[in-house]
Amino acid sequence: MARSKKIPTLSIIIPTLDEANHLPLLFADLKAWPYNSDLTIVDGGSRDSTISIAQIQGVNIISSLQQNRGLQLGLGASKAKGEWLLFLHADSRLDKVWVKKLLKIMQTKTSKNFAWYFDFKIKKYNLQFRILELAVALRSHFLQRPYGDQGLLIHRKLYHSVGGYSSLKIMEDLDLIRRITKKAKARRIGVNLYTDDIKWSNSNIIKRALRNANLRKKWRQGHDIDDLSKEYYS
């Protein structure tokens, strides 16, 4: 009888701040993973029922002294036990085939040499959303720049070899993927990851894209990250 492949361990890390409306749905998706894993939220000081929801679900909870997503992600990774790390935003929803796809990647020896990202999707129908999804797909493939709302699956050795997440309030995803792609390629998982449409519905997509591009340019030029964070969240 052929010996079955060993199932690598998985650590799932989610930075949170007042995410009570999103977490139950994401936790429900993550329950589909049937193998050894540890699920952790790293909370930046939530005032809603985020912590209570995580406690009820038996999720590991790390408290961050700052509302700083880069710091929170780094803290979560430092406590992770898995051979593979999966970073997700709290407002994400996973396609039902995610378990099968991740398992195939994690059991393939060469996969640890790459960083893996989901396909950015917004469930609500809107032509602008479809254009945005296409633009994100092209950027991710040709420029090797998937961002945090596409998730990140990465082997712990590759993650630590590039220094992990920096303690940045914003641009933490761009900062990390730039360092990763200096030594490894980013590849599609081939699974949709749906993000909350509210943050896109309440703004002009073109104006928002131009503003974000300008913020990235300022960051590369060395502008103060606190000033950029205030501009981003204003």
Map out the domains of the chain as residue ranges. Answer: 10-196, 203-234
pTM: 0.95
For tokens 């890390």, name the residue: 13
CA distance linking residue 41 with residue 75, whole number of Å: 10
Residue 2 has a pLDDT of 45
List the one residue out of 185, 162, 166, 184 whose CA is nearest residue 175.
166
Q: H-helix or E-strand containing 135?
A: helix 127-142
> Which residue(s) pair with 60 in the sheet?
40
Parallel, antiparallel or unpaired: strands 186-195 and 37-43:
unpaired
Q: What is the mean pLDDT of residues 153-173?
A: 97
The 10s digit of each residue's pLDDT in 91-109 is: 999 999 999 999 999 999 9
The 10s digit of each residue's pLDDT in 51-94 is: 999 999 999 999 999 999 999 999 999 999 999 999 999 999 99
| Angle at the Cα of 192 from the Cα atoms of 112 and 173, rounded to 5 degrees | 55
Q: Which fold has domain 10-196?
A: Spore Coat Polysaccharide Biosynthesis Protein SpsA; Chain A (3.90.550)
Confidence of residue 125 (pLDDT cuts 50, 70, 90): confident
For tokens 């998730």, name the residue: 151
Q: Among 21-35, 58-72, 212-226, which is the least confidently predicted range?
A: 212-226
